[in-house]
Amino acid sequence: MATGKLRNQKIYFTLICLLLFSPTLIAQQTESADITATPPAPVTEVVAFDTPNDAGSSITICWKKSSDDRPDDRLFAGYKILRAVYPRGEFQQTADAPAGAEETFDNEAKDGVEYTYRIRAVRGDLYSDSDASPPAQSKQQWFHTGRVNALIGCLIIGLAIIFFINRAKSGKELYIRKIAGLEAVDEAVGRATEMGRKIFFIPGINDVDNMQTIAGITILGRVAKRVAEYDAKLEVPVCRSLVMVACRETVKGAYLNAGRPDAYDEDAIHYLTDEQFGYAAGVDGLIVREKPATIFYQGAFFAESLILAETGNYIGAIQIAGTAMPAQLPFFVAACDYTLIGEELFAASAYLSKEPKLLGSLKGQDVGKVVILLAILIGIVIHTLGLFNFAQIFTVR
């Protein structure tokens, strides 16, 4: 009997303890529930479509981000992109997207295969998936619709150039304004011949894939022909191996056309170094030791432009520079006798040759400039009046 009474007392004691401490236990569980992340709100409005203007294999997926995707929610980890072959494929993760993202690209889609996507919002260890997107398949496009404006621009300017080239071929005289630097080429080459000193030609420090280098080399061809005719000495220290090869071909051709193949010296066109300031040091050394009477700087230059030009100025050479690097133009203007600014570098070859076909292309360029000028004026009016975003027309995607 006593055992039974004691057992009942134990039971009552246990029950009372449970009743007294249960709020604490519940509170702890509630606190634990607060600490543990709750699943994030799912992403909505998931759409997938073929990425436009590409070579296929790409699908764009857009969505409206989870309402729990906020900067102050440190537990929100981002999104996982799940993909399945439509209609019955199994969803598998293909990529991640960071918090805040509302768009991503699946660049591993197979063309012609329909896929459907879910976006998994992740918060801590929990996640929630969106509804599946309508199916989408990737395909290649034959034309980049975001570049229609570039095509129209190219056609206008290209056709204008070709039109004026043909017009010039028909014998029509074209007016080209005088460019002082190019008018001085003959004088510069003649001066070097009289003084018995060399002519240096520096075709810039970029490689042959740069249009400024190409323009410089075409000018070299014209200058080399004059040099051959005047029987002067030409030296062309270069910064790139391919430029050396191209310059040699050009100068050889120029000497041949001038009827002086015997005067061509291959070693006059030589390589120094690819390194910018090593090249500048090498050319400076050559300038100070050889004391050329004339120096041409025609091509792409960077910080070494003033070092070269000042050294040439110091030895009293006549210097004709030309570059399409706007940052270097002030240095050449300050240190050289003549400077071809920007497009004058590209016009130089046509100007020196006086060939109608080449001069015609300069007129075509001017048409392009007129078109751009008109567009700027129209744009100023439209934007000032706030009519619409005119500048957007010229965005090339």
Partner 1 sequence: MEFFEKLMSIDRRVIFFFVGVALIVPFFLDIGQKIEISPEVQALYDAFMELPPGSKVLMTFDYDPPSAPELQPQAITALRLCFDRNLKVIMIGLWPMGPMQANLALGTIFSEKKYLDKEPVYGVDYVNLGYSPGNELVIQRMGSSIPATFPRDFQGTPVEEIPLMQGIVNFSNIDFVFNLSAGYPGTVEWVQFAVDRFHARMGAANTAVQAPLVYPYVHAGQLTGLSGGMKGAAEFEKLTGFIGKGTKFMLSQSFAHVIVILFIIIGNTAYFVTRGREKRS
Partner 2 sequence: MRRQIPQLLTAIVGFVYIIQFFIPHKPFNLFERMFSDWFLIIAACAIWLGVLNLLKLSSEKVYKRGKDWPYSLVSICGFFLITIAGLFFSGGRHFQDPGTPFDYVYVNIFTPLSATMFALLAFFVASASYRAFRARSKEATLLLLAGFFVMLGRVPVGDLITSWLPEGYRLSNLTDWIMNVPQTAGQRAIMIGIALGIMSTSLRVILGIERTITGGE
Q: Of 104-163, which residues contact partner 1 (CB under 8 A)?
A: 104-105, 107
Q: By the 8 A CB rule, do 134 and 92 touch?
A: no
- Which one of partner 1, partner 2, none interacts with residue 222, CB within 5 to 8 A by kind? partner 2
Residue 194 C-beta: closest distance to partner 2, Å? 22
Residue 123 C-beta: closest distance to partner 1, Å? 16
For 92, phi and psi rounded to 5 degrees? -135, 150
- How far is 133 from 82, CA to CA, in rounded Å? 11
- Which one of partner 2, partner 1, none interacts with residue 300, CB within 5 to 8 A by kind? partner 1
- Which one of partner 2, partner 1, none interacts with residue 34, CB within 5 to 8 A by kind? none
Among residues 304, 338, 339, 351, the one that binds partner 2 under rule CB under 8 A: 304
Q: By the 8 A CB rule, do 393 and 375 touch?
A: no
> Quick check: 218 binds partner 1 (CB under 8 A)?
no
- How far is 361 from 340, CA to CA, in rounded Å? 18
Q: By the 8 A CB rule, do 46 and 130 touch?
A: yes
- How far is 56 from 239, CA to CA, in rounded Å? 41
Residue whose tokens read 């206008």: 156
Q: Of 247-306, which residues contact partner 1 (CB under 8 A)?
A: 276-277, 300, 302-303
- Which one of partner 2, partner 1, none interacts with residue 147, CB within 5 to 8 A by kind? partner 2
Q: By the 8 A CB rule, do 80 and 122 touch?
A: yes
Q: Of 308-337, which residues contact partner 1 (CB under 8 A)?
A: 314, 326-328
Q: What is the dihedral of CA 185, 187, 193, 194, to 10 degrees?
A: -170
Size of the site for partner 1 (CB under 8 A): 20
Among residues 55, 174, 377, 393, the one that binds partner 2 under rule CB under 8 A: 55
Residue 260 C-beta: closest distance to partner 1, Å? 37
- How far is 331 from 81, CA to CA, in rounded Å? 54
Segment interacting with partner 2 (CB under 8 A) among 5-13, 98-106, 140-148, 196-204:
140-148
Q: What angle do CA 258, 261, 262 make, to 5 degrees?
A: 130
Q: By the 8 A CB rule, do 378 and 390 touch?
A: yes
Among residues 62, 75, 95, 132, the one that binds partner 1 under rule CB under 8 A: 95
Residues at the site binding partner 1, with contacts judged by CB under 8 A? 71, 95-98, 101, 104-105, 107, 206, 276-277, 300, 302-303, 314, 326-328, 397
